[in-house]
């Protein structure tokens, strides 16, 4: 729900700039720059900061797909970053992957010969 409110705010700001600069001031160059800037910075702020904050703190929605050939074991939050543990039976390896804000500086830890207590 919070994600929808965020995007409604960004689109509302863009429409306000469109109405003010485009229709009232008749300055279409300023309209294009302001609307484009609002949409770009709104997207960048969401992707690089707000997405995981919304999910963790305010009940947003985020989708993560388990890679082919791996089994999901668990997930946990460390600060605002999501860590997911998967097991790959073919190589007997546990994969810990970090999903950080904006997919920047994501960590990965491999544990060889993991042998988790998984039902067969």
38-50: per-residue pLDDT in tens? 999 999 998 888 8
pLDDT of 21:
83
CB neighbour class for 80 (10 Å; exposed up to 12, middle 13-18, buried from 19): middle
In the chain, what are the domain boundaries? Answer: 2-58, 71-112
- Residue 106 is predicted with a pLDDT of 76
Render pLDDT for 68-95 as a digit per residue (tens, 0 to 9): 989 899 998 888 788 999 999 888 899 9
CA proximity to 93, closest of 75, 69, 74? 69
Confidence of residue 8 (pLDDT cuts 50, 70, 90): very high
Query: pTM value?
Result: 0.64
- Which residues have CB under 8 Å from 45's CB, separation 6+? none
Q: Given a cut of 80, is residue 61 above it in pLDDT?
A: no
């Amino acid at each position: 729900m919070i994600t929808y409110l965020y995007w409604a705010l960004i689109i509302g700001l863009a429409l306000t700039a469109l109405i003010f600069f485009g229709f009232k001031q008749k300055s279409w160059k300023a309209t294009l720059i302001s609307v484009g800037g609002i949409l770009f910075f709104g997207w960048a702020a969401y992707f690089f900061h707000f997405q995981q904050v919304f999910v963790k703190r305010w009940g947003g929605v985020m989708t993560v797909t388990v890679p082919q050939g791996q089994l999901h074991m668990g997930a946990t939050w460390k600060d605002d970053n999501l860590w997911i543990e998967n097991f790959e039976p073919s190589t007997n390896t546990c994969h810990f992957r970090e999903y950080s804000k904006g997919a920047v500086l994501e960590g990965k830890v491999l544990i060889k010969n993991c042998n988790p207590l998984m039902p067969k």
